[in-house]
Amino acid sequence: MEEAVRSLTSRGWLADGRLTDEGRAVHTAVSERVTRFRQQVTQNVSPQEYQTAVEVLRRMAANAER
């Protein structure tokens, strides 16, 4: 966590534990890109199929951590 805080602070995106104006702008831009990407990759995938895929990947990740 400390490393992430240092990195965000050094980029000018975080100051005194809060996002700066630049940090908020970057967060908004990234959020919009993630939303567009998620829409693209889940096209023609039902909500049930998506949930199933997420659960399977979650279990696989847990197996890999062991």
What pLDDT score does 41 carry?
95
- 7-28 as b/e: b if 16+ CB within 10 A: ebeeeebbeeeeebeebeebee
Enter the pTM of the model: 0.69
pLDDT at position 21 is 98
pLDDT in tens, 6-61: 999 999 999 999 999 999 999 999 999 999 999 999 999 999 999 999 999 999 99
